[in-house]
Amino acid sequence: MPEQSAESSVVRRGFGRRRFLELAGTASAAAVITTGLNMGLMKVPSLFAAGGHDTEALVLSCMDFRLVNETAFLFNEHGLTNKYDQIILAGATLGVATDKYPAWAETFWNHLDLAIKLHGVKRVIAVDHRDCGAYKLVYGKDFGKLPEEETQIHTKVMTDFRDQVKKKQPNVEVELLLMWLDGHVQPIGGASTAASPAAAPAAPSGRH
Ligand SMILES: [Zn+2]
């Protein structure tokens, strides 16, 4: 759910993705793209692992209008263009975890079943984000102003979510990512449980 925070989004965006996308269409595109990849996007090695030819993922993300483009950008940059199904719930993993809207959890589980049956999905990639209005609504607290507490609450909700997925679908791997408002992400809950040899050491977490 949208929860506008003007100051933080101005500060964090800087010379970020939007500027990059504006420039990408110009004559200097090649030069910009070369540096653009290092400008703000943190590579998530395990996402590349998810992009193997037959591997498909189900992405769970929040409805927040500020990060729709950033979410697609993240997966495109990791070679996952058109290689994932997507389900959107306010709060992402919180939308599944909360008792407030039980129909959402049911909807998610039904879609996961379907994604496995129809597309052989082997991985769930959940993308929560900072300054999320759904977290504010459910917990009655503005975590956008409390980044450390915010990391903790997302870590709890997301790892519980991962446990639930593993319980219902033991063969499905779960990747947890927390997105900042500038579109970069930090892995949550340690390295992916994937047994994939491509699994790399956990990328640096914390604030950037
Ligand atoms: Zn949200």
The answer to whether residue 149 scores a pLDDT higher than 60 is yes
Contacts of 196 (CB under 8 A, 6+ apart): 46, 49, 173
Per-residue pLDDT band at 191 (split at 50, 70, 90): low
Cα dihedral across residues 87, 91, 97, 102: positive or negative: negative
84 bridge partner residues: 57
Mean pLDDT for all residues in the chain:
79
pLDDT, tens only, 17-62: 554 444 444 444 444 443 334 445 667 877 776 655 556 899 999 9
pLDDT at 55 (0 to 100): 61
pLDDT, tens only, 108-127: 999 999 999 999 999 999 99
Give residue 189 CA to ligand 1 midpoint distance, Å: 19
Domain map of the chain by residue range?
6-187
How far is 156 from 164, CA to CA, in rounded Å? Answer: 12
pLDDT at 44 (0 to 100): 81
How far is 24 from 104, CA to CA, in rounded Å? Answer: 38
The answer to whether residue 181 scores a pLDDT higher than 70 is yes
The answer to whether residue 4 scores a pLDDT higher than 90 is no
Give residue 90 CA to ligand 1 midpoint distance, Å: 6
State the architecture of 6-187 in CATH terms: 3-Layer(aba) Sandwich (3.40)
The answer to whether residue 98 scores a pLDDT higher than 70 is yes
Q: What is the pTM of this model?
A: 0.72
Ranking 75-79, 177-181, 201-205 by mean pLDDT, the lowest is: 201-205
Give residue 127 CA to ligand 1 midpoint distance, Å: 10
pLDDT at 54 (0 to 100): 58
Instruction: Calculate mean pLDDT across residues 94-114.
Output: 96
Give residue 120 CA to ligand 1 midpoint distance, Å: 28
The answer to whether residue 77 scores a pLDDT higher than 60 is yes
Give residue 27 CA to ligand 1 midpoint distance, Å: 36
